[in-house]
Structure 1
């Protein structure tokens, strides 16, 4: 099966009646969990980005509470899982500032973990890569946002 381009799909969707479009959306939602999550975001949370960020942060808090701190091995696995979740949640939003805020929150929570992640080379490197990634993402934002996020980034460094 040849997969069509987005442009071709868009043209085809423009010719479908409303009922068929509704049926296609519902079918997409049933097919994969990520599709259903994206539809949920677009329908219920896209209009309130701040509320979306708060709800994502609370779900991240739950994941951080579940980290097994007995071993760095288990910590690494869970921290990587949390980072994957952040990437998924960030993809749903079309705003770059959402991803920056979630990554800043992630790094802040990493700093608060005990035992410290800075005692483990792998976790420390993961943290540093995220800081570099945040700096790159901040550089493309509006100047006012850049200042605010740079201030938060400086607080993380201290």
Structure 2
């Protein structure tokens, strides 16, 4: 075993991630969490949400992927938006979910720039989707 501790979890971002994945409703054993569909309880020592202990290994892996995507969006969308330029596939889905979760956190750094980058990304993706639907999308690799 390694002596290093796992990286600290931001309790508020973890709560928003758990809520996006419906963990309070589906796996939490706390009545207030289930009734309010909100993640209300965490372990003070680690910041880990209480419902996380009830997850299977696969569910925990999915939570970790979504949480890390949300943390990356929270930290970097306002400063390095090029990390979120995926246009299709699973990568775009992960980016979209991470940005949606990070958007709910009122403590985002440089909020105005972050929101401006999010809106610019949405416009780029809407334009790309329209081009795909109309068949006019010209890829940089060329045709044929």
Q: Same fold (TM over 0.5)?
A: no
Q: Which has the larger radius of gyration?
A: 1
TM-score (norm 2): 0.39
TM-score (norm 1): 0.37
Higher relative contact order at CA 8 Å, sep ≥6: structure 1 or structure 2?
2
